[in-house]
Amino acid sequence: MMTNYNEYGKVAIKAAKATGNPKDNWLKEVQKTFFDSESSQKKSCPKSAFLGLCEEGFIKGVSKGKYTTSVANKAYAIKAIYLLRSNPKTTYTPKELWVKVKKELFIIKKDHNSQMDVVLALWNTEMIEGGSRELEL
């Protein structure tokens, strides 16, 4: 099955594969991808989800470090990883995963803002430590 990630998911994959600081990598990739939209370049939710995963050592090849001040978006992304790990054979859309994250974290009114696109793109391309294939062994 071919998964179609939104552009933030693609940015996350490219930034994760690049060498160097993940903050710089995100900025470089988001500027290339959204060259004509400053607001898209500055969108903080997907960036904070990505950097939060980097910060905690969830992304293969990226060293743990201090990359974000976000608490909420980092928590959403980490909760999503744990949900994926607990159901590795289940396929989620970003919206479906967001509904589960909201339920787990007791969030009532908060819209999905591309955080789950970032998580799923990294998960499905096996960029997450302990990702889908590794759990099936």
Note down the domain range covering 31: 7-135
pLDDT, tens digit, 9 for 90 and up, residues 106-134: 887 888 789 999 999 999 999 998 544 33
Contact 55, 68 (CB under 8 A): yes
- Has residue 26 been placed in a domain? yes
- Has residue 100 been placed in a domain? yes
Q: Does the CA dihedral 131-13-79-69 come out positive or negative?
A: positive
pLDDT of residue 2: 41
The conformational region for residue 58 under phi > 0 = left, psi -120 to 50 = alpha, else beta, is alpha
Banded pLDDT at 70 (limits 50, 70, 90) = very high
- Has residue 35 been placed in a domain? yes
- Has residue 22 been placed in a domain? yes
pLDDT of residue 88: 86
- Has residue 92 been placed in a domain? yes
Residue 25: pLDDT above 80? Answer: yes
Residue 5: pLDDT above 70? Answer: no
> What is the count of structural domains for the chain?
1
pLDDT of residue 108: 77
- Has residue 55 been placed in a domain? yes
Q: Which residue has the higher pLDDT, 110 or 55?
A: 55
Residue 76: pLDDT above 70? Answer: yes
- Has residue 2 been placed in a domain? no
Structure tokens at 48: 């904070």
- Has residue 1 been placed in a domain? no
pLDDT of residue 85: 92
